[in-house]
Amino acid sequence: MNPVFLLRLGLDFLAVGLFMAALAYWWMDNRAHELIGTGMFALLFLHNIFNRRWYAGIPRMRRQAKPLVTFGLNLTLLVTMMTLLATSVLISQSLFGFLAIGGPDARDIHILAAYWALVIVSIHLGRHWAIVMNVVRSLCGVRRPRIERTVLLRLMTTAIAACGVYSCFELAIGSRLLLIPTMQFWDFNEDAAGFFLRIGSVAGLYVAVGHYGVTAIQAFRRGRPLSRHRCGGKGRAGSDMTVPSPIPLNQQRT
């Protein structure tokens, strides 16, 4: 497998890890939070450079199988991340303190953008989950689908999604997404690992939503004669990160 491709995927997962670490604000001091967040934005910048063909492909997007979903989701992600970046600079206390002019509103918007980014990044990852699965299959030398493995993976996905729903209540994700003040704060002195398990399961829930959402849209479109022509299997315009699956398309189950 192409090592540059693997490196890119590794950097993307590192960015996701840094993002989740930044969400654990009260686990660290402000300087560490700002350093982690800035590192995540540097990787995000690289991610956009590597995937710049998506921007170039926007004019041709009408001919794609899922143009509206792709464009809408990526645009929302872009706006959310830009908001998070702008408010980061506005409220910075350590790294960009000399630029900081933000007040209480900027802080609220920073937190709002951070939790919306958690949801949208996870759905974005779910949309590309087939690529991740193809890499894992290749690395593990999996050549044929096996029903037992598929059932096991789907059971695991269901369990993670169920934990995600539970964790949404525990972490008051709904209130944070709607900017409703909440007194639910995680006690990192008590259980720091528990926070990451919960935030990871919330991400897993939305990865599943993204992955199975795409699968459902594709199934729906395949049912229509016009979309069969459109889904001709040429791959996504603007995405150069497709990996040929070691399993033939008609035998893939995940």
8 A C-beta contact, residue 123 and residue 213: yes
Q: Which of 91, 199, 207, 214 binds ligand HEM (CB under 6 A)?
A: 91
Alpha helices of 128-235 — where are they, by DSSP H? Answer: 129-140, 147-170, 173-177, 192-222, 225-230
Q: Does 125 bind ligand HEM (CB under 6 A)?
A: no
Query: Which stretch, 5-13, 62-70, 86-94, 245-253, contacts ligand HEM (CB under 6 A)?
Result: 86-94
> What is the Cα–Cα distance from 124 to 214, expressed in whole angstroms?
10
Using the rule CB under 6 A, which residue among 80, 88, 201, 254 binds ligand HEM? Answer: 88
- Please tell me the count of residues contacting ligand HEM according to CB under 6 A: 21
One of 16, 23, 43, 163 touching ligand HEM (CB under 6 A)? 23
Judged by CB under 6 A, which of 95, 132, 177, 217 binds ligand HEM? 95
Q: Is 109 in the site for ligand HEM (CB under 6 A)?
A: no
> Nearest-CA neighbor of 213 among 120, 144, 116?
120
Q: Which amino acid is at 177?
A: L
Say which residue the tokens 């710049």 belong to.
Answer: 52
User: Could you give the C-alpha distances from 90 to 39, 45, 61, 81, 96, in angstroms and in order?
Assistant: 17, 19, 35, 14, 8
Task: Assess 203 for contact with ligand HEM (CB under 6 A).
Answer: no
Q: How far apart are CA 170 and CA 176, in angstroms?
A: 12
- Does 33 help bind ligand HEM (rule: CB under 6 A)? yes
Task: Indicate whether 19 belongs to the interface with ligand HEM (CB under 6 A).
Answer: yes
Is the CA virtual torsion 164, 193, 183, 31 positive or negative?
negative
Question: Which tokens go with 243?
Answer: 């990996």
Of 35-43, 153-161, 167-175, 217-225, which segment contacts ligand HEM by CB under 6 A? 35-43
With DSSP H G I counted as helix, E B as strand and the rest as coil, what are the percentages for the chain, rounded to 5? 75, 0, 25
First to last CA, the chain: 21
**Residue 182 in contact with ligand HEM, rule: CB under 6 A:** no
DSSP 8-class letter at 65:
S
Q: Which stretch binds ligand HEM (CB under 6 A): 66-74, 105-113, 128-136, 233-241?
A: 105-113
Minimal CB distance residue for ligand HEM: 37
In the complex, minimum distance from the CB of residue 110 to ligand HEM, in angstroms, rounded to a whole number: 5
Find the binder of ligand HEM among 40, 65, 77, 161 (CB under 6 A): 40
In the complex, which residues of this chain contact ligand HEM (CB under 6 A)?
Answer: 19, 22-23, 25, 30, 33-34, 37-38, 40, 84, 88, 91-93, 95-96, 107, 110-111, 114
